[in-house]
Amino acid sequence: MDRDEILLDAEERMDKACEVYRDQLLGLRTGRATPGLVDSLRVDCYGSPTPLKQMANISVPEPQQIVIKPFDPSTIGNISKAIQASDLGLSPNSDGRLIRLNIPPLSTDRRKQLAGRVKELAEEARISIRNIRRDANKHADQTEKAKGMSKDECADCKDDIQKLTKQHEGKVNDMASTKEKDVMGE
């Protein structure tokens, strides 16, 4: 691998790590209803676990309510079971055609727990970014040993990898602080 390939690969993988973290944050509950709470929920239907967003329209008609309208009304029971089995702590109300989820306001203790979870997820994202940095540095060292680049080029490459790492860790920190403020209701 040459220098540009190493940097491009590292940047793509770091971007993916940031995207995964962003998606994880969407699934965390704040005081408001968002479709992201249930989008990634898997429903055991038609013999396999299927993402809820592929089975139903999910809307938020009010700030404290999510409405799920399945494409196939016979799947309402399976969707209700999946919501109850999830760790969302919500109870589905079904009228046979659609499911309503009322989002209660969060208690102070629950807000603190969620803020802690935001921090845990952020640390996991930062760890994955650092692992990507380690792999990229290893590729740079291997390329140098294989006489693909000089020591100076290798050092420059590692500096650029470190800059990418700092940049992506900054993105994770920004997302974490924004979500934490949102969870704490600030």
Instruction: For residues 65 and 123, state if they share a domain.
Output: no
Query: Dihedrals φ, ψ of 105, to 5°?
Result: -65, 150
Choosing from 51, 84, 102, the residue where a domain stops is 102
Helix or strand (DSSP H, E) at 123:
helix 108-145
Whether 161 contacts 133, CB under 8 Å: yes
For 116-159, write each residue's pLDDT tens digit. 989 999 999 999 999 999 999 999 999 999 988 899 999 999 99
Contact 129, 161 (CB under 8 A): no
Number of domains in the chain: 2
pLDDT digits (tens, 9 = 90+) for 38-70: 877 889 887 888 888 888 999 999 888 999 999
Q: Which of 34, 169, 22 is nearest to 90 (CA)?
A: 34
pTM: 0.74
31 within some domain: no
Q: Among 45, 80, 102, identify where a domain stops.
A: 102
Range of the domain at 111: 3-26+107-184
**Strand (E) or helix (H) holding 43:** strand 42-45
Which residues sit opposite 65 in a β-bridge?
Answer: 62, 102
